[in-house]
Amino acid sequence: MRVLGIETSCDETGIAIYDDKLGILAHQLYSQVKLHADYGGVVPELASRDHIRKTIPLIEAALAQAGCTREDIDGVAYTAGPGLMGALLVGATIGRSLAFAWNKPAVAVHHMEGHLLAPMLEERVPAFPFVALLVSGGHTLLVRVGGIGRYEILGESIDDAAGEAFDKTAKLMGLEYPGGPRLARLAEQGVPGRFHFPRPMTDRPGLDFSFSGLKTFAANTIAAQGNDDQTRADIAHAFQQAVVDTLAIKCKRALQQTGLNRLVVAGGVSANLSLRSQLAALMAGLKGEVFYPRNEYCTDNGAMIAFAGLQRLRAGEFEPLSVKARPRWPLDELAPVE
């Protein structure tokens, strides 16, 4: 089976073609970073309009890259949520319309299921069951994964997601958008131990997260200590270490609670080198394994949507002749794939 995947949930237009025997045949990605940089964050209306301009040309480029025609495509998968409503509607409308015109089945894919399954695109694939840490600009979730569609939410952020906290703190430091990766690079120049940030919600039972207070702590620290280059680097280091420690502590709890020793980490923040180093040490101590997608599949992309869509199309799922978009869509509402 060969599936066209369309991802337009936020500020990246991702198109891919995945074949269940040959793997990824084409991967096209357009980032809107420059478009939103002047505003310091994503402007939903601009994001939607840019998806309209870019989606069809990227689909054509993906077909050419794969050496395919529409006759070679067996199904179309598109991100239906969660995400920005306008952006989702672009991909969903184009995906469903193409499927109708090509007389192919279409399936609506959950964005976070795409991230969760992204490590399956690698040669080294985790076996079920496992614990997944989904950590991005919009979401921070710990999930027990018993199989595709068999998801139990163990914990989630009650306010800012980890990636959102990175971006907001970077903005406080005057770093350009997108600030999260820039803050991580700045943290490499920081002096460990000069500042100590709290590890929120680690002093109580449970697996939920809260990162909003770290942003406030950073703002107060900047106001009290100044904002020279070295101070910013030291604050960035302390902030990043607090986030990484918090994520690692909660991952360890989740693994102990479930009795599992396999951890999957996906989403944009999963590319953070400090997080990867700490989780590698954690899993070595637990005699377990940790799995990631390669960096290009950590952020939003069409390959993960094509792969997730293929699993559901192969199980007989398809959408009626309507457009489905859900800006809010709990992961544990998904049906298991038999």
Cβ-based neighbours of 130, under 8 Å, separated by 6 or more: 145, 260, 262, 263, 264, 291
Which is it for strands 150-156 and 75-81: parallel, antiparallel or unpaired? unpaired
Consult the annotation and say whether 103 binds a ligand: no
Cβ-based neighbours of 321, under 8 Å, separated by 6 or more: 96, 100
Consult the annotation and say whether 203 binds a ligand: no
Consult the annotation and say whether 137 binds a ligand: yes
Consult the annotation and say whether 76 binds a ligand: no
Consult the annotation and say whether 67 binds a ligand: no
DSSP letters for 284-305: HHTT-EEE---GGGTSS-HHHH
Distance CA 302, CA 47 (A): 17
Consult the annotation and say whether 272 binds a ligand: yes
Residue 8 is which amino acid? T
Nearest to 119 by CA among 76, 95, 148, 140: 148
Consult the annotation and say whether 180 binds a ligand: yes
Q: How many CB atoms lie within 10 A of CB 321?
A: 9
- Annotation: binding site: 111, 115, 134-138, 167, 180, 272, 300
Q: Specify binding-site residues for Fe cation.
A: 111, 115, 300
Going by the annotation, the residues of the binding site for substrate are 134-138, 167, 180, 272
